[in-house]
A = this chain, B = another copy of it.
Amino acid sequence: MKPSVGIRDVAQHAGVSNATVSNVLNRPEVVAPATRQRVLAAIEELGFVRNESARQLRAGRSRVLAYVVLDAANPFFTDVARGVEDAAREAGLALFLCNSASDGGREREYLELLHEQRVEGILITPVDAESAQFAERGTPVVLVDRETTNGAHCSVAVDDVLGGELAVTHLIESGHTRIAMVGGPLSIQQVRDRRDGALRALANAGLPADALTVLETKGLQVAEGRGAGERLVGLPSSRRPTAAFCANDLLALGLLQSMTQQGLRVPDDLAVVGYDDIEFAAAAAVPLTSVRQPREQLGRTAAQLLLSENDPDHEHRHVKFKPELVVRASSAVKR
């Protein structure tokens, strides 16, 4: 182990007091140029690296934000993270990403650690917003892409019911009357909301609720989408939906792939609508119709809200964005 050179070593080496070294580090303008040079030289020579723990202990505040992400492998969240980072960076803060990987246990561990680290603030897309007890522990927390049930935090979300409605209304207008909803588990608020939106669209169009076949999946990954595709094709053709609304682009991509493999064409045999409009949605060989969420803006807004928590007159706010339908080839009008 290195002997770990500290501020006092530098001070001694430069023939000044530690206070002066500290000043060079934090308020260079206050110390005489000659001294400053001498100190900087000593720092360089000894390879001194400031100890952030000590600094933070004394100062009481840190310079980092953290975003506990639900699934780092989902491009949607990395896009949100980009927005967060931009905003953080403008405020002179760094961003640490933590991946809960949809695991409540990991999520709790990370939250605990972040609280103990006294980060400036925590952004989180929680595994489960209901059971989520982000008890006020001194560190401000903002929920991302989830609505908070109790009013204990700020939150930034997108209207998922509206999103579901947009998607399914589009399918109905394209001539579909038997529609599948692919997504799950239904314990996830988002999935439920999007389904409810789908049902609302049916109601608006005067279609019966059983025009929607719900195929519940165990998760929101590509593989689940493939599985759903097989289930779908297995249905008797009289009852088989002619269109599918997926809770997620990953599911939609899996579904798409499964269709092609089974020799069915999209959108002719099955129209597909996804959700999130991740970059790969447009890049799919059958470009995917999808419900776009303002991803970067979601992150950016969340970060700004988080930073405003320090204002003395802060009140928790709940921002809700509107999603937008992006029509592409995967849902071309039915002939």
Using a CB–CB cutoff of 8 Å, the interface residues on chain A facing chain B are: 2, 4, 47, 49-57, 60, 62-64, 66, 72-73, 75, 78-79, 81-82, 85, 94-99, 101, 109-110, 113, 115-118, 135, 137-138, 222, 226, 253-254, 256-257, 260, 266, 279-280, 282-287
Q: In the complex, how many angstroms separate the beta carbon of A277 from the nearest chain B beta carbon?
A: 13
Roughly how many angstroms separate A292 CA and B118 CA in the complex, as a whole number? 40
Identical subunits present = 2
CB pair B4–A138 under 8 Å, yes or no, is yes
CB-defined contacts of A81 to chain B, threshold 8 Å: 72, 99
CB pair A72–B64 under 8 Å, yes or no, is no
CB-defined contacts of A260 to chain B, threshold 8 Å: 285-286
A286 touches which one: B115, B138, B222, B285 (CB < 8 A)? B285
CB pair B50–A116 under 8 Å, yes or no, is yes
Q: In the complex, how many angstroms separate the beta carbon of A195 from the nearest chain B beta carbon?
A: 24
Q: Across the two chains, which residue of chain B brings its CB closest to A116?
A: B52
CB-defined contacts of A137 to chain B, threshold 8 Å: 47, 49
CB pair B51–A118 under 8 Å, yes or no, is yes
CB pair B57–A116 under 8 Å, yes or no, is no
Roughly how many angstroms separate A66 CA and B64 CA in the complex, as a whole number? 14
CB pair B73–A138 under 8 Å, yes or no, is no
Q: A98-B95, A138-B4 are in contact. Are A53 and B118 (CB under 8 A)?
A: yes
Q: Across the two chains, which residue of chain B brings its CB closest to A58?
A: B53
CB-defined contacts of A51 to chain B, threshold 8 Å: 57, 116, 118
Q: Across the two chains, which residue of chain B brings its CB closest to A137?
A: B49
CB-defined contacts of A82 to chain B, threshold 8 Å: 72-73, 99, 101
CB-defined contacts of A57 to chain B, threshold 8 Å: 51, 53-54, 57
Q: Across the two chains, which residue of chain B brings its CB closest to A5?
A: B138
Roughly how many angstroms separate A123 CA and B56 CA in the complex, as a whole number? 24
**Top 5 A-B pairs, shortest CB-CB distance:** A285-B285, A97-B97, A52-B116, A96-B96, A53-B57
Roughly how many angstroms separate A79 CA and B73 CA in the complex, as a whole number? 7
Q: A98-B95, A98-B96, A138-B2 are in contact. Are A113 and B72 (CB under 8 A)?
A: no
CB pair A99–B85 under 8 Å, yes or no, is yes
Roughly how many angstroms separate A129 CA and B82 CA in the complex, as a whole number? 24
